[in-house]
Amino acid sequence: MSKQRIPNELRDQLAALSKNRCEYCLSPEAFSTQPFEIDHILALSLGGLSEIPNLAYCCRGCNSHKFNKNKALDEISGLIVPIFNPREQSWQEHFAWDNDPCYMIGLTSTGRSTIDALNLNRPKLIELRGLLLDIHKHPPEI
Ligand SMILES: [Zn+2]
């Protein structure tokens, strides 16, 4: 997370790359009450750059939970592992929707640690996914 100003051109590129969805929880920006933010995948404070390969488009909730983390505990393996990098990794490799598609599940240690670190099944997201499901806008096309 950073307060450094990201040029509009970069922001627009990231919005297009993400299809205007949060790159972590996949929520559509159109249904957010807050403008989306730009996450530094490797935080500025850890030497990350404000360039596309290190930036992700995300909702305020995910950005707040991520803060400056780039690793987190996978409770199943007990290992500290890198959290999901939307520029280098594919969402489907690390995550899936549960049988109840309001819930995200982790398929890998990275997926599980990211769900925990960013709280990707927080109550307001579950509620939003339920509403989007009702209007056939969830699960999103990957
Ligand atoms: Zn999000």
Pairing label, strands 79-82, 71-74: antiparallel
Look at residue 39 in the predicted model and tell me its pLDDT: 96
Q: Per-residue pLDDT tens for 44-86?
A: 999 999 999 999 999 999 999 999 999 999 999 999 999 999 9
Instruction: Determine the structural domain holding residue 53 and report its residue range.
Output: 8-134
Look at residue 4 in the predicted model and tell me its pLDDT: 62
Determine the distance separating the centroid of ligand 1 and the alpha carbon of 75, expressed in angstroms: 21
Q: How many domains does the chain have?
A: 1
> Taking 70 as the threshold, does the pLDDT of residue 115 lie above it?
yes
**Does the residue 141 lie in any domain?**
no
pTM as predicted = 0.94
**Does the residue 2 lie in any domain?**
no
Average pLDDT over the chain, rounded to whole? 95
Cβ proximity of 36 and 47 under 8 Å: no
Determine the distance separating the centroid of ligand 1 and the alpha carbon of 78, expressed in angstroms: 25
Determine the distance separating the centroid of ligand 1 and the alpha carbon of 118, expressed in angstroms: 8
Measured between its terminal Cα atoms, the distance across the chain in Å is 25
**Does the residue 3 lie in any domain?**
no
CB atoms within 10 A of CB 64: 13
Determine the distance separating the centroid of ligand 1 and the alpha carbon of 37, expressed in angstroms: 10
CA angle 125, 108, 14 (to 5 degrees): 55
Mean pLDDT for 126-135 is: 97
Determine the distance separating the centroid of ligand 1 and the alpha carbon of 76, expressed in angstroms: 23
